[in-house]
Amino acid sequence: MVGNKMTQREVVITGMGVITPIGLDVKTLTESLRAGKTGLGPITSFDPAPYPFKSAYEVKGFDARHHGLQALDPFIQYAVAAAHQAVEDARFDSGSVDPFTIGVSVSSSKGGMHTIDRFKDRLLRNPSAILGARVYSSSVPNFAAQWIARRWKVQGASKCYVAACATGTVAVIEGARMVSDGMVDYCIAGASDASIVPLMLAGYKQMGVLDPDVLRPFDKRRKGFLVGEGAGIVFLETEETARARGARIYGKILGHAYGNNATVSMVRYDDSEDSIARTVTGAVRSAGLDMTDIDYVNLHATGTKSGDLYETRQIKKAFGASAGKIPMSAIKSMTGHMLGASGAVEIIVSLIAMNEGFFPPTATLEQPDAECDLDYVAGKSRPGRIDTALTLSSGFGGHIAALTLGKA
């Protein structure tokens, strides 16, 4: 576990943008969180009749033509659209500053799965260079960052970290580090994923982590997750530039930590390792806070039998006696598992909750597991003050990332 405080320059969030199954902008997402709305529905992006999976959390009502991106893979479309919202929300004019002072830290855990699924048979039948280039340019995870950089004329540092389902959280942390270290003054950061295709769903089904019905974190009936899609992007800058511009500040990045669980299994953590507990503790300590200072925790919570139980035990170990007193949420109960985009969207959800004064719900938690006995804000949102929040992400293969947020 490595924990770090942003010590060199204070980093704040001044813009947010989302494309999710429960809202195509921050305003709609906020309304859905308050209402405990879920985005679950029948799969429409392909014919699910031949397959054992019928439902997912799809993005609905999104028009890529509005952004001139209809020829690109959806993961790029979602990323650019969310970035547009974030930059606009920050009221940032990229043309008014040196382009080398703007950075990008945007990624995807999977890249262009729709493109691969769409063209794989055609490419096998006719392996032309032109078709190969089209597939390549819309499938590699870093191409979302490239399109964002192109659109806003970004010439500063560009990073693309892939950390499975922790990708979005890692992207925001590394974007904040770029600003804190003085590499850039501004950074567009986050992640996007669009993987509701037969190949990916079949893989998760084979792994035994796909629920056939509903994603129910911490519920005794849980059997796994269902896949969601979308993007979350934040605009990061120094507190100094934000104050000078008169920008609205949604929150400050206080600290972070990374960890890894050295399990031999791809899909479950080793119960003998305290990887999550130590990472969470590191993220809080690196912010100069005590564990009792945290007002809200956004959990990774994918609805797998072993994962939710392990996460609960690790949170108890990290927070001790105060664990049961802290409201916590499993946002995937509403958005589905947005894979690499999850962490970025959940950071935004934490900022929404902090600024709007409510705890988002674990909407589908109806029959609690006796061993999962923390305050998961079951069923409905509730009002409450949040001054400091912690958001946690994990990924298949052992990746762990935690980020501490506070009011500016």
The length of the chain in residues reads 408
Q: From residue 133, how far is each of 120, 193, 221, 262 by CA, in Å?
A: 13, 21, 45, 37
**Residue 337 a catalytic site member:** yes
Q: Which of 67, 337, 372, 399 is catalytic?
A: 337
The pairing of beta strand 358-359 with beta strand 2-5? unpaired
Q: Which of 150, 403, 200 is nearest to 298 (CA)?
A: 403
The pairing of beta strand 102-107 with beta strand 158-159? parallel
**Residue 67 a catalytic site member:** no
Q: Which of 165, 256, 372, 399 is catalytic?
A: 165
Report phi then psi at 94, rounded to 5. -65, -25
**Tokens of residue 384, six digits:** 């409450």
Q: Which of 67, 114, 256, 300 is catalytic?
A: 300
**Tokens of residue 340, six digits:** 């690499």
Q: For residue 160, give every residue at least 6 positions away whose Cβ sits within 8 Å of its Cβ, in sequence order, or none.
A: 105, 106, 107, 141, 142, 145, 171
**Could you give the CA distance from residue 95 to residue 53 in angstroms, rounded to a whole number?**
47
Q: From residue 66, how far is each of 59, 62, 77, 78, 270 by CA, in Å?
A: 15, 9, 10, 12, 46
**Could you give the CA distance from residue 160 to residue 174 in angstroms, rounded to a whole number?**
9
**Residue 399 a catalytic site member:** no
Looking at the annotation, which residues are catalytic?
165, 300, 337
